[in-house]
Amino acid sequence: MNEKNQSDIIRSVLERTRLFADSDPDALDSLCEVGALQYFSDGEIVAACRDETPKATGLWVVASGCLETSRIWASGKRVVFGYQMSGQLVGIVPTLDGLPLSLDVMARGDTVAVFLPRNEFLAAIRLHPSLSLGMLALMARRARLDYERIEMLSLNSMRAIIAKMLLFLSREALSIQDGEVAVPFKISQEDIAGLLGVTRQNVNKEISWFIREGILARRYRGVSVVDPDRLIDVAGGEEPLSEAAQATLFAPPPKAFRTSD
């Protein structure tokens, strides 16, 4: 791939990312000059916790696939902090505060990302106020969603929480096969337990209920959504999130869920 093609792809990815969508053209030009496309295979470690090498000092913008942020504690317990998919970012906090990564970053499924080195990204922020305003708005949205997530975990049943999480992960589905919406990467019950901070046994109990009800189906190393309408009903039946949070986290892609729409 020549430099022009790579620059065009980077620009296309950034323009589809909410943080950069309203940036002025000069700001995008600056980022395209310093950005680099990176390709990762399923399970590949992108960067490790406390890694201070140049390859781990910057911001990843997910173009396709998924980046998982997680941490394994001394006890051996694995906690998943999030799955960042197309248009989302990884590495914001260490990029801004200059400290090392506090989490491991791993590719889930084949993943492509744009990497923006920290020093060059900060230089672009200083030169272009539109980027600074975009970062402030992004941090505010993330804080608001954190509050909503705490509320969701506190006020909803485990069944509704899992339903909302599956809707969130399935929103990146690119196609429907035989009426099913597949989660775009293989997610195990251990992954779900790590993301929600519960035991695998609790997750297994609820997943089994969804399968018995014909809402989900077991697939190799994961699940597929068989009845999206009912999954939405379960997710929205208890203490639903605010409209803003639902629009950000759980908005289904066109023609993916409510087949009657």
Q: Which of 64, 63, 239 is nearest to 163 (CA)?
A: 239
Residue showing tokens 């087949």: 259
- Write down the pLDDT at residue 173: 52
Cα–Cα–Cα angle for 185, 111, 22, nearest 5°? 110
Give this prediction's pTM. 0.74
Q: Cβ neighbours of residue 53 under 8 Å, at least 6 residues apart?
A: none
Distance CA 104, CA 101 (A): 7
Give domain 3-143's CATH architecture. Answer: Sandwich (2.60)
Q: Out of 1.10.10.10, 3.40.50.10420, 3.40.50.300, 2.60.40.1260, select the CATH number for domain 156-250.
A: 1.10.10.10
Residue 155 has pLDDT above 90, yes or no: no
Token code pair at residue 58? 């910057």
Q: Say which residue, 1 or 46, is predicted with more confidence.
A: 46
In the DSSP assignment, the letter for residue 255 is T
Same fold for the pair 3-143 and 156-250: no
Residue 186 has pLDDT above 80, yes or no: no
Would you list the domain boundaries of the chain?
3-143, 156-250
Distance CA 103, CA 100 (A): 9
Q: Which of 114, 18, 31 is nearest to 65 (CA)?
A: 114
What is the per-residue DSSP string for 18-67? Answer: HHHHTS-HHHHHHHHHH-EEEEE-TT-EEE-TT--SGGGSEEEEEEESEE
- Write down the pLDDT at residue 3: 63
94-139 pLDDT per residue, tens? 999 999 999 999 998 899 999 999 999 999 999 988 888 888 888 8
Q: Which helix (H) or strand (E) element contains residue 166? A: helix 158-170
- Write down the pLDDT at residue 178: 53
36-67 pLDDT per residue, tens? 999 999 999 999 999 989 888 999 999 988 89
